[in-house]
Structure 1
Amino acid sequence: GFDPNIKKVNEDELREPTDKRMFVLAAALKEGYSLEKLYALTKIDRWFLEKFKNIIDYYKHLPAVDSNTITSEILKKAKKIGFSDKQIAATIKSTEVAVRKLREEFGITPYVKQIDTVAA
């Protein structure tokens, strides 16, 4: 996932489009780099940078809760943003199985929206 703890911030790595750049980008957002500075370094569209920032902002919010205090709303928002059960577990110091069980207790289940691509 988009984990800010995998790589350290390195502006040279931000400039070069590689398969590891997203992790450096996550670390930079966590360290407080502005969207404008990141745009200047990466030339990644600001819309995408804003979406990445939303993920990191929520990532920073999650450690304020733990497996005993996480609410249905917090868990649901984390899932909507795209966090895996494993990522949530690591952030709230729990296990993936415990998060999955909690998610199921809260009735938070995955679903797929189908879009009719051949509609007239």
Structure 2
Amino acid sequence: VMGVGRTFAEAFGKAQYAAGEVYPTSGVAFISVREADRRHLKEIGDMLLAQGFKIVATRGTARELQNVGVTCEIVNKMREGRPNIVDMIKNEDIDLIVNTTEGEQSTRDSFEIRREALQHKTTYTTTIEGARALCKAMAYTDSEQVYCLQDLHREITEQGV
């Protein structure tokens, strides 16, 4: 499948749509990221809020989101009792998942989260780069704008790219 667009986000969104991946455009987004990825939380959180998502996050991620002004609610990790994130996925209360991990326990939890996400057809990403691309592409996933490849080539050539 090939998606064509004037930006990466547009091309990526169209390609995903053509491949049968329909992204949610609002709902509840779950975010839990490793320490090294927390510097990107404001960007990702702001994009999700602007798209119309409510954000839920694990305690550490929620604290960092709130510190940078992104509104969110806290959800339990699997080992913190119930209801937890896996329960929410099973109940289809989660529409989008951004989950990056490091460490043995987080990786085990992530496996359970991914398994439930697959069973319930919940969109998820395991990298910040993927989250960024997904957020930007959401605006284009049902776009029917058609581009002639020759016109795009001419534009690129004229720009000297």
TM over 0.5: no
Q: Give the TM-score range, shorter chain.
A: 0.3 to 0.5
User: Which of structures 1 and 2 has the bigger CA Rg?
Assistant: 2
The structure in which a higher percent of residues are helix is 1
